[in-house]
Amino acid sequence: MVRPIHKLLAFAALLLGIAAATAVWLWPDRAIERQPLGLMTSLPIYWPEGADMSDIVSGRVEAPWMRQKLEQRFILQPIDTLSPDGELSNVASPLAGMDNLLIVQPRGFSPADNVALDDWVRAGGHALIAVDPMLTGHYDVSIMDPRHPVVSALIPNVFAHWGLEVHFSENQPLSAREVDLYGTPLPVLMAGWFVLADEGQKHCQLKAEGTVAECSIGQGHVTLLADAAIFEHGHGEAVTSDALNALTDMAFIRNP
């Protein structure tokens, strides 16, 4: 079911407008066009935590720090569902015409969402998906508030279809550590790890001590992270920027 509040937020995004597609982000030795990037998340990445509709529409609230970082390189397009259903069954898929997709701690996929994501990736889509077995961020809204992020990730069924399992142990230190991602330190906190089933061993590789999986699915590519701490905590300006750039490069830039 599509949530009315998220439909209103998406509409507000259209009212506010998204930065022009011709804007560029300066790479150290070259300029590149910012790419459109679909964003599906339960975390306060696009809208500030607890912001009400009047503040959002008026533009009185400052964009969250993670949105500001992502918008240095991408044009964010918030979406709340991957496949229209119910009263939206006659509307085009939200993924239509989209090449890149960022999913962070989603609220849960419907069966149609799982099918839509699989079809979209196999047709050539690139996705970065972060699912955290245990969030470690602190939020002002009550855990009973529907705006509160999903505390423990609801693992999409399509992961099993791709041959991936997410494992987690509570018997680990409640402190940040760094794993190596192609030479870049990636901060994680109470992270899970991926295990490859038979199908996953055919087209997936594990990186960063198993917290990251790279999979070639059909004509597309999926980068998966069994943690969301980088999207919750700053970890320091330089560390966060480098790690986020490494993840998005892997998912959207370096892939053919």
pLDDT tens digits, 156-195: 999 999 999 999 999 998 889 999 999 999 999 999 999 9
Q: What is the CATH number of domain 4-253?
A: 3.40.50.880
Separation of alpha carbons 213 and 10, rounded Å: 30
The whole model's pTM is what?
0.83
**Model confidence band, residue 33 (pLDDT cutoffs 50, 70, 90):** confident
Q: Residue 94 is which amino acid? A: P
Residue-range domain boundaries for the chain: 4-253
The answer to whether the Cα torsion of 36, 39, 44, 50 is positive or negative is: positive
